[in-house]
Structure 1
Amino acid sequence: MTEGTESRGADAAVPGSEAELAALVADSFRQKRKLHICGGGTQSRASVAADSVLTTREIGGIVAYEPGALTLIVRTGASVGEIERLLATEGQSLAFEPMDYRVLLATDGTPTIGGMVGANLSGPRRIQAGACRDHLLGVRFVDGQGRIIRNGGRVMKNVTGMDLGKLLCGSHGTLGILTEVALKTLPSAEAQKTLVFGGLSSREAVAIFSTALATPFEVSGAAFFDRTAWLRIEGLSRQVEYRCERLQALFRGRDIDTLEDGKSRHLWRNLRDVRHFADRSDAVWRILVKPTEAPATMEALERLGGESSLDWGAALIWYCGNADCAAVRAAVPEGVVTLARPGPGSTGPAFINEAPGAAALAASLRNVFDPAGIFNPGRMGR
């Protein structure tokens, strides 16, 4: 450890600045010492085959916040909760509503901005607002040789050159260690309601999603679990009323209940954090598929035992069961599969590679950004 770091246990380091972090990584590069990179330690219960733990939780603080420009620049050790409270004072939010893994994984600690961006955490509103990476304007990070690199902008405008932030967002700490990010913020919705459709099969739910999402009524959430589908509508109060009325007319003939603002927000917070699988001991898998393929994929998964739910208008499947890696891969031949929470019968890697071409491209990127392979070994197929 470099001077000034504090121990979190054996071979653990908590650098307090970007410069200190860069020096530590440069030393690890020279010694080929493998590092387990984490923020608040809330996202993963899977082990990483590393020599040392390195957390960015002390590299925190807000660099700049300009509500009028809808931009926020923050160091990555800052807590997500702190940032969300700050934005709320200005009637703004992180529109992609990042998931909080603590309930599902039974972890403690504090979710950090670095962990959020590193995992590209994006909640139910992704179908309308886009993912975390779509709101990322610029980054500062330390690469696998200890070099400090800045890329992108600090305001909402186009910048020239390759957008490295898009690569680092969702790379799970395998390409570089983020130290600072610039994010786009958006006004929070004044009101919301949720339309509830009961007694459905997954195929009926996906048909409802396809119809609703093709309308101009700005559905901001489309999820399904336990034979129930939900459509969320957000905006100004009068807009929400009008859109709900039009959607109800569109689905005339179906029994539709309505959840008002407070109950709607509670529901979508629980769906975002996958609380419906939190109390079970089985493994939980996160699977990305084409929405049209979701019903057949759910049926294949449920033949293995367990249950599934849908989010993102059926592009995201959460599967809770104890099938092993090979069985899940066979049930999802075209999707992107991640073991979000290990269980008694879940064996195999946490990240199952995509098609060979994509895996080869990812490996070549890792070799450029982290040539010694010291960042989070075992993650993302490395």
Structure 2
Amino acid sequence: MTVAPSRSLRSSAELIRAEEPVLAHNYHPLPVVVARAEGAWVEDVEGRRFLDMLAGYSALNFGHRHPALIEAAHRQLDQLTLTSRAFHNDRLAQFAESLAELTGLDMVLPMNTGAEAVESAVKVARKWAYEVKGVAPDRATIVVAADNFHGRTTTIVSFSTDETARAGFGPFTPGFRVVPYNDLAALEAAIDETTAAVLIEPIQGEAGVVIPDDGYLRGVRELTRRTGCLFVADEIQSGLGRTGRTLAVEHEGVVPDVLLLGKALGGGIVPVSAVVARREVLQVLRPGEHGSTFGGNPLSAAVGSAVVELLETGEFQRRAAELGVVLRGGLDALVGKGVKSFRARGLWAGVDIDPAIGTGREISERLMREGVLVKDTHGSTIRLAPPLTITGEELRTALGALETVLGQGA
């Protein structure tokens, strides 16, 4: 990292203590206070450097402060930042056109966060079911997979199987059917004449980077087409280069009816999400039926367009695929040496640590002390999702730190 060292008037410990009485306790962050960042590195308030192997849950696919994205943001900040959709702005059409072309779909509904994109897709799928498929009013159902993670709004946690996300937040929104992930027979049994859509993650991120069997996504595509319902693919974490392709569904040559994007679409600068779909689907929306004050704002559109330009070169997809080989090789060497098993695609891995060595949280804290930042998920599983700008040497450094931590035992 080439930026000058940062120094705060308050220490990490002081800043962490200051948060306690004033911030809602809906997160349990690692005890590191980040002040600056560049590329794959972050720096805390005391000037200590850490290799970022989380990348904002894939929101930072292009690294911290990618020059092309920062330039696009600065340029737009000097021109126009917000109009709301009450008026047109001069950046939105370019963003929508380029994103539709990148994904092979027709129309774009711009939103802000991943959860908003999912909520929007739920509304659109239901509206499509009533107006196009002919489902009776208020009878539409959506089939989802167990162990999903699509966000934490009230409707979304209504079809979560994670009790931490659900408990205490009922009553829940009806209209969802939950089936096991990676089970086409169960999925087929759940679909009937009321089914508006099947909503799944092509790879389940929060569940521990769970990758379905080869043929599962093709089976979902065939089944939804045959039964006359929509295939909605949530690629908010898996999309935009993370798995070695622009989209994870491309590994099986599948094009969904509706695609959900977010996180990396904002380049780690502003929140940007989108519902991208076939024209027949998104045309069910009419003025006043759905909206967002900030969705499609000029600043977001400018940054989003710059993200699409980076992806159009194919460089980041290639890097994820090539460095993914390094990641898998490094993890393979650790199986039986503290790693029980792992699942990886591109620069994304869920690593199951031997519980005798530590929980996922404990391993994350030990890695932090070695200068590497990761985040745990369920039990003794940690996720690795470095920026796609990471070098092979940096990736090997992170794997070496994991080997060191595992070698320390419990």
What is the TM-score with the length of structure 2 in the denominator? Answer: 0.27
Bigger fraction of residues in helix: 2
| TM-score normalised by length of structure 1 | 0.29
Instruction: Using CA pairs under 8 Å that are at least 6 residues apart, name the structure with larger relative contact order, 1 or 2.
Output: 2
More strand by percentage:
1
